[in-house]
Structure 1
Amino acid sequence: MIGESSQVVMTRQSGRFALGTFAAEGETFPGFVHDDTVYGTRSVIPEAHSTVDLLADWQTNLDRLEAVVFDSERLAKLPHWPLDQVRVLPPMDPVGTSFAAGVNYREHIVQMSVAHKLGRPGATDEELRVEAAAENDERSRQGDPYIWTGIPSAVCGAYDDLLLPDVGDQIDWELELGVVIGSLAHRVKPEDAFEYVAGYTIVNDITSRSLVPRTDIAKIGTDWFRAKNQPTFFPTGPFLIPARFVSDPSSLRIQLRLNGDLMQDATTEDLLFDIPSLIAYASSIAILRPGDLLLTGSPAGNGSHWGRFLRPGDVMEGTITGLGTQRTVVRAPSGQLPPWQLSREGLQADSR
């Protein structure tokens, strides 16, 4: 499984590699991947105990690792494991905050507007499409990105199972390009934004569509905390690909297959707000820290569009050009409500 899912073209090019966090022989460690072999970075950079530590002197550390990759004799002496014999964990350790852009692919916005009838009452599907496209253009000229936050405990590895929750249904997929922040970023200018990017990864931003609206508090609107932050709702990785190895992040192909059927197929050219704009906006509000993750939004083709949500036994495979492949098996919920929801059910029963 991991051997197939690890295909990253750049790791097979001389001097190029991917980074991540791995577990083998009872130990968790930062490593780099070259030719489907994982090498521990601590033998080269002993002061960096984790992948986030590597960011402290990022370009120099990349140079040190690249020099080892070019030196086959030295490379062979490093601790190493076949990639298919280690557990691949979320690439950044410790996991940081996720700053996630919503409604940020033009065609996705149009599809969601039609699927959820978001627009003028009584408008036909075609009228909703046309009006949503016009709103896209206006928002890109004068509006702001829409960004919410995800918590570290919702993140899992690229090959870990997705656990369907006991609270919420209509569980949907959203494959996205993730941007790993490399240095402290606050009030960044768009033209300087790429200086703060360490690299790129893949994230599947899972959503319980039934938990998004808060009908009990109409003026509040949406509840992204409960809809998106349940355990395993952020499959991330498999790797961090350094930005120096990604020539054009604005032209990467994103594809998600469900049980072999292609559901999402787009490129990052369809972003409404590009990566510099997202970094500039997010950093105008918050301080972004090394290891934080900026999710750039999901392209068209979600379950809401297809009218098909995740079920136990489903298998998702997600790829982004040059960043590898995720493989996620969907598992059934536990069948046991948490105490809070049980208490609410009890109250409802007492009131009947």
Structure 2
Amino acid sequence: MKLATYRDGSRDGQLVVVSRDLQSAHYATGIASRLQQALDDWNYLAPQLQDLFDSVNAGKGRHAFPFDPRQCMAPLPRAYQWADGSAYINHVELVRAARKAEVPQSYYEDPLMYQGGSDDFLGPTQEARFLSEEWGIDFEAEITVVTGDVPMGALPEQALDGVRLLMLANDWSLRNLIPGELAKGFGFFQSKPATAFSPVAVTPDELGEAWDGGRVNLVLQSSWNGRRVGMCEAGPDMTFHFGQLIAHIAKTRNVRAGSIVGSGTVSNKGVTDADGKTDWPRGYSCIAEKRAIETIQDGQPTTSFMQFGDTIRIEMKARDGQSVFGAIEQKVVGP
């Protein structure tokens, strides 16, 4: 099933069930008014939401209405936890290669992860407001999951059973603030502003065979100012699957229902021809990776970060061409 949160003037909005084709929706008020409420009592409420979803898809929802992504908040407008991994080691390899730094062996064995701010997320069409272009504004196209309760010490296979929903994310980064923060040895903070999420969150069964072993085997599309810059395969180059990412969190703590776990920037390996030249035909899911590629190839980056007035669209389509999550469509604006 597919779920979204409509604006109603409150912090947490109203839960709606959305049709598979993203054309119609129905308030879930009689079942659960908030998505967190459904996650807290998933085994009891999910079957009821599924029944409503089936009715909406069959055109039998008595109070169904046209679905409008512009009315959406993030599916979870605020969450108990937002933990973002770096599951695509190719991304790490490129960024480090650009500054002539090796990737430690431990990065291939234990995922990188940071704790993001979860008290204020952006909706899928909400403007992204920043106080300065000098901060190095960058989009990051990612896949995320929302968990149920996962006990401390859960193994990756057990943790994978805790996945309740999947979403897309635009994990905004302020690249020029990152070096100073990392130099302090305490990780990201000011360099990671509010994250935006797709209009709808979907249950894993909606992906069919594309959801396999904790990976999504579909293409993540990124369009910057209307120009397609990324057509990245989300499955093949994902070093750590979502079960491993969740288990990483659960090593020392319980993971509670409503936790959001991110994949990090979706990234694909380059293709090297007979002459030894490497190209990246799938493009990129963040500007930092494009700049890293330029530095490796030409000695310096030429692509600038985003400016006020720029737009970014992030979307994933099923093999039949149907949008799975709806699109994140945002405009960068100034103070």
Q: What band does the TM-score fall into relative to the shorter chain?
A: 0.7 to 0.9
Query: Aligned letter for 1:287?
Result: N
Which one has the bigger helix percentage? 1
1:77 to 43, 47, 62: 62
Whether the aligned pair in 2 keeps the contact of 1:214 and 1:223 (CA below 8 Å) is no
Choose which of 204, 208, 213 in structure 2 pairs with 1:243: 204
Structure 2 equivalent of residue 147 of structure 1:
113
Residue among 189, 212, 217 paired with 1:225: 189
The answer for the alignment partner of 2:28 in structure 1 is 41
After the TM superposition, which residues 2-41 of structure 1 pair with which residues of structure 2 at under 5 Å, given as runs?
17-23=1-7, 28-34=13-19, 35=21, 36-41=23-28
- Aligned residue in 2 for 1:316: 312
Residues 1:270 and 2:237 aligned together: yes
Which letter does structure 2 place at the counterpart of 1:105? Y
| TM, length-normalised to structure 1 | 0.74
Aligned-pair CA distance for 1:91: 0.2
The aligned counterpart of 2:82 is 98
- CA gap 1:236/1:329 in 2 versus in 1, 3 angstroms: same
Is 1:162 equivalent to 2:125 in the alignment?
no
Q: Is the 8 A contact 2:26 2:61 kept in 1?
A: no
Q: Distance in 1 between matches of 2:97 and 2:107?
A: 18
Aligned equivalents of 1:112 and 1:85: distance in 2?
A: 34
The 3 A distance-change label for structure 1 pair 222 and 165 is farther
Once the 2 structures are TM-superposed, how far is the Cα of residue 67 of structure 1 from its aligned partner? Answer: 2.4
Q: Which runs of 5+ in 1 are unaligned?
A: 1-16, 120-131, 335-352
SS at match of 1:90: coil
Counterpart of 2:329?
327
Q: After superposition, where does 1:55-134 map in structure 2 within 5 Å?
A: 55-71=39-55, 75-78=60-63, 80-84=64-68, 87-102=71-86, 104-119=87-102
Q: Which residue of 2 aligns with 1:287?
A: 254
Report the TM-score when normalising by structure 2.
Answer: 0.78
Match of 2:199, SS state, is coil
What is the match of residue 207 of structure 1?
173
Residue by residue over 1:141-184, the C-alpha shift from the partner in whole angstroms, topping out at 9 and shown as x without a partner, is xx311111111234111110111234961111111001101224
Secondary structure in 2 matching 1:285: coil
**Distance across 1 between alignment mates of 2:156 and 2:189:** 28
Gap change, CA 1:268 and 1:308, over 3 Å in 2: farther
1:94 Cα shift?
A: 4.2
How far is the alpha carbon of 1:291 from its aligned partner? Answer: 1.1
Conserved? CA contact 1:50–1:93, under 8 Å? no
> Is the CA contact (8 Å cut-off) linking 2:4 and 2:200 kept in structure 1?
yes
SS in 1 for 2:251: helix
Match of 1:183 among 149, 162, 187: 149
State the superposition RMSD in angstroms.
Answer: 2.6
Larger Rg: 1
Question: Which ranges in structure 2 are unaligned for 5 or more consecutive residues?
Answer: 268-283, 292-302, 318-323
- How much has 1:61 moved relative to structure 2? 2.5
Distance 1:170 1:244, change over 3 A: same
Query: 1:264, CA displacement in angstroms?
Result: 2.6
> Identity over the aligned pairs, expressed in percent?
20
SS in 1 for 2:327: strand
TM-superposed deviation, 1:25: 8.7
Residues 310, 222 of structure 1: alpha-carbon distance in 2 compared, 3 angstrom cutoff: farther
Counterpart Cα distance in 1 of 2:38 and 2:51: 16
Structure-2 residue corresponding to 1:9? none
Structure 1 residue 280 displacement after superposition: 0.8
Q: Is 2:287 the partner of 1:303?
A: yes
- Assess, with a 3 A threshold, how the Cα gap between structure 1 residues 139 and 160 changes in structure 2: closer, same or farther: same
Aligned to 1:340: none
What amino acid maps onto 2:89 in structure 1?
R
CA positional deviation for 1:64: 1.8
